[in-house]
Amino acid sequence: MEIRLKINRKNGLHIRMGAAFISFLQSLIPDKEKLQRTYVIYNGKKVQANNLLSLVALKIKQGDEFTLVLDEDTDRKTVEQIQAFFNQAASEDTRQTETDRLLMENSVTLHEAVSSIPNGIIVVNKENVIIYVNKAAAELLEKEPQDILNRRADEVIPHSCLHKILQTGKTEITEKQQINHYTVITTRSPILLNDQIIGAVAIFQDISSIEKISKELNEVKELQEKLNLVLQSVTDLIGLTDEKGDFIFSNEGMDKLLKKREGKRNIREIIGKTGWEDLIRRRNPFMKVTKHKGQSFITKVNPVIVEKEIRGTVATMTPLDDVKQLLEKIDIMEQRTRYLEQELSKHKGLSSAFHKIIGNSETLKDALTIADKVAKTHSTVLITGESGTGKELVARAIHEASPRKNHPFIRVNCAAIPPQLMESELFGYEKGAFTGAYKTHRGKFELADKGTIFLDEIGDLNLELQGKLLRVLQEKEIVRIGGFSTIHLDVRVIAATNRDLAKMVEEGTFREDLYYRLNVVPIHLPPLRARKEDIPLLVEAFRVELNARLGKNIKGYEKGFIEALCNYHWPGNIRELQNIMERLFNLADGDYLLCKDLPHYISNPHAPDSSKGQEETIVLSKDKPLHEYEKQIFAYACQFYPSFNQLAKSLGITHKTAASKIRKYKLEHLVGKKYQGD
């Protein structure tokens, strides 16, 4: 029930009138629970009617109206009594009025001051019921003030001890406490009147930031102690100088050296005047081997630059003998580490280098298991599989999982480089070896020294180059074109092809000795149609990658989308799937990929193709030369195959021949035209 009321008193709802009103309400509503559910609403603020501090803080002035909300309907007589309380004539004693004004001003000032302090304050009465809470305390408890007032403190505050203060009357000072995610120091005190406990107050100080700063200071102090210990413990001679070169810190080793020199404690005494001037002028680190009393040191001086000004230097001097011993130890440790890595690899799964290869099919796992095992060795690997199955990705993974991972991985596409240039690309040439050779050129094998060379499309090498490659594999050395010196190499060879090398050996287009030299560890990658259970994983991986690369936000796929992809035979394998996904991303209008956006040969593979049945007739004429008919045949065939490799297979020719003819007749724009639904 709501009752509209108006203040007629000159000083408004001041503290004395508020206390009288609460006393009046208590006589009208003896039920304490109902009284706690009685509110005053003024200017959008709602407070409990029996909370004096909150009531006075509303600052209701003379002539202002407010609403009294009762828990339940009441009789007319009670309503009239409440209205009569506020409608009394303003016949107040002048002295009393002035007293009320002062009380009101002091009360409001005190309330505002207490509400604004950064420490949390909670006041309870003798029943341990909260009668006041300031803003800081409400924030610590992460509640609104109206959800805290008139509730027992032990219900609102975890581990509250205010009830103990009410029992003992003893003050507890600076007790550490955890409230929500805040660390606070709590002070609790009783409130006494005539030596009687009428309530208690708790003051909370948030020390979370202080603890954080204290922790950081301790960490800095600990770091400083560790740094000092390190500087004093190392065998290197270490010193810090000011901008003039005078030493302001030196460890024990540097101290001994400076005392032996019996000169000024200045870095010039060590690196010389010229070295110091060069360091100041260039602002680059100084490094050279210096000798002192017959002992050699590797001396390094680094400038300390603050706001583009040199404020000092850091000097280190390492005994040359110590460096030699250290290098020997590092070599031993590297050998030990390699041994332990090899032993550890026997007891765990695939190397992390293979994790970027997506798929869980058994056929793929079998291939990757072989690749992982051979990666630890230096043997030659031959990777076979159709175009687009990921041969280069596996080759890179073998390199990254091998002891050569910190050395170069050089890729050579044997099908993309003209035969007349292939030899110089592989083995390099000397200056003046032929017209245009203005400087010495290092070949791919030389660039791959200590690392791995990946010979992609190895089946496209001509027989002459095959013989030279065989010699390199057997002798582990090359001679540049136009050169005479033998260059010894340590290169791991990984070859790849989508062609049947064994068949090429039978046909005489590939050397048998080179084939067996390459085929030390064969790895065959299955086509995508043989591992269709991997398609959902690949699609999801492409979705994440393309979202990041193209700035899209594709969230998923329409029902039936994945099924349509799984039902397609994928002649172009993973590369074709990746291209289809990128095409769909670029054409997508919404957040999901739809079946209707798929090419028709994937979304509806059984639909009749209007292009079929329209056979193109080649008319023979004595006026046309043979190459015209050849061009006509290739122009027709290009439209139905998305790659040179598939077109070559359909015509029964080599990939190299197909590519050469298509480029000769400038038919590249027709490749895959009808295959893609254009």
Q: Tell how far CA 414 is from the center of its chain.
A: 38
Q: Are 175 and 159 in contact (CB under 8 A)?
A: no
pLDDT above 80 (res 345): no
DSSP for residue 608: P
pLDDT band at residue 162 under the 50/70/90 scheme: confident
- pLDDT, one tens digit per residue, over 394-429 is 999 999 999 999 999 999 999 888 888 888 889 888
Amino acid at 438: Y
DSSP H or E run through 177:
strand 172-179
Residue with tokens 């639909």: 607
- pLDDT, one tens digit per residue, over 113-128 is 666 677 888 888 888 8
Helix axes 76-86, 15-28, angle to 10 degrees: 170
Amino acid at 434: F
Pick the CATH number of 352-524 from 3.40.50.300, 3.30.1300.10, 3.40.50.720, 2.40.50.100: 3.40.50.300
pLDDT at 65: 86
DSSP H or E run through 200:
strand 196-206
* Average pLDDT, rounded, for the chain: 82
Angle among Cα 286, 287, 292 to the nearest 5 degrees reads: 115
Q: Are 480 and 428 in contact (CB under 8 A)?
A: yes
Answer yes or no: CATH 3.30.1340.10 is held by domain 2-107: yes
Reported pTM: 0.44
User: Among 53-57, 491-495, 561-565, where is mean pLDDT lowest?
Assistant: 53-57
Most confident of 63-72, 320-329, 429-438: 63-72
pLDDT above 70 (res 437): no
Burial (Cβ within 10 Å: 0-12, 13-18, ≥19) of residue 9: buried
pLDDT at 613: 41
Q: Are 162 and 200 in contact (CB under 8 A)?
A: yes
- pLDDT, one tens digit per residue, over 138-160 is 888 888 877 787 788 888 887 78
SS3 letters across 84-98: HHHCCCCCCCHHHHH
pLDDT at 585: 92
- Give the bridge partners for 338, in sequence order: none
Give the span between the Cα atoms of 426 and 506, in whole angstroms: 26
Burial (Cβ within 10 Å: 0-12, 13-18, ≥19) of residue 334: exposed
- pLDDT, one tens digit per residue, over 630-677 is 888 888 888 777 777 778 877 778 878 888 888 888 888 777 665 555
Top-confidence residue, 35 or 123: 123
pLDDT at 514: 93
Sign of CA dihedral 13, 15, 16, 22: positive
Q: Tell how far CA 533 is from the center of its chain.
A: 29
Q: In this structure, what token pair is assigned to residue 123? A: 């006041």
Top-confidence residue, 211 or 194: 194
DSSP for residue 534: G
Distances (CA, A) of 293 to 40, 150, 238, 297: 93, 85, 18, 11
Q: In the chain, pLDDT over 70 holds for what percent of residues?
A: 88
Extents of the domains making up the chain: 2-107, 117-209, 352-524, 528-597, 626-670
Residue with tokens 């051979």: 374
pLDDT at 82: 83
pLDDT above 70 (res 268): yes
User: Among 261-275, 504-518, 615-629, where is mean pLDDT lowest?
Assistant: 615-629
DSSP H or E run through 4:
strand 2-6
CATH class, 117-209 region:
alpha beta
- pLDDT, one tens digit per residue, over 547-572 is 999 999 999 999 999 999 999 989 88
Top-confidence residue, 305 or 233: 305
pLDDT at 561: 92
Is residue 62 helix, strand or coil?
coil
pLDDT at 378: 92
Top-confidence residue, 248 or 56: 248
Nearest Cα residue to 515 out of 652, 380, 653, 408: 380
pLDDT at 485: 87
pLDDT at 163: 85
pLDDT at 615: 46
- pLDDT, one tens digit per residue, over 519-546 is 999 999 999 999 999 999 999 999 999 9
pLDDT above 70 (res 462): yes
Q: In this structure, what token pair is assigned to residue 102? A: 């002062």
- Give the bridge partners for 47, in sequence order: 40
Give the span between the Cα atoms of 572 and 561, in whole angstroms: 19
Distances (CA, A) of 221 to 214, 226, 238, 314, 427: 10, 9, 21, 21, 59
pLDDT above 70 (res 482): yes
Give the span between the Cα atoms of 262 and 336, in whole angstroms: 45
Burial (Cβ within 10 Å: 0-12, 13-18, ≥19) of residue 59: middle
pLDDT at 607: 56
Arithmetic mean of pLDDT, 77-99: 67
Give the span between the Cα atoms of 385 and 366, in whole angstroms: 14
pLDDT band at residue 612 under the 50/70/90 scheme: very low
pLDDT band at residue 678 under the 50/70/90 scheme: very low
Distances (CA, A) of 261 to 87, 265, 266, 294, 297: 101, 9, 11, 13, 15
Distances (CA, A) of 598 to 499, 559, 582, 602: 30, 13, 11, 6
Answer yes or no: CATH 1.10.8.60 is held by domain 528-597: yes
pLDDT at 347: 45
Q: What are phi and psi of 44, to 5 degrees?
A: 80, -5
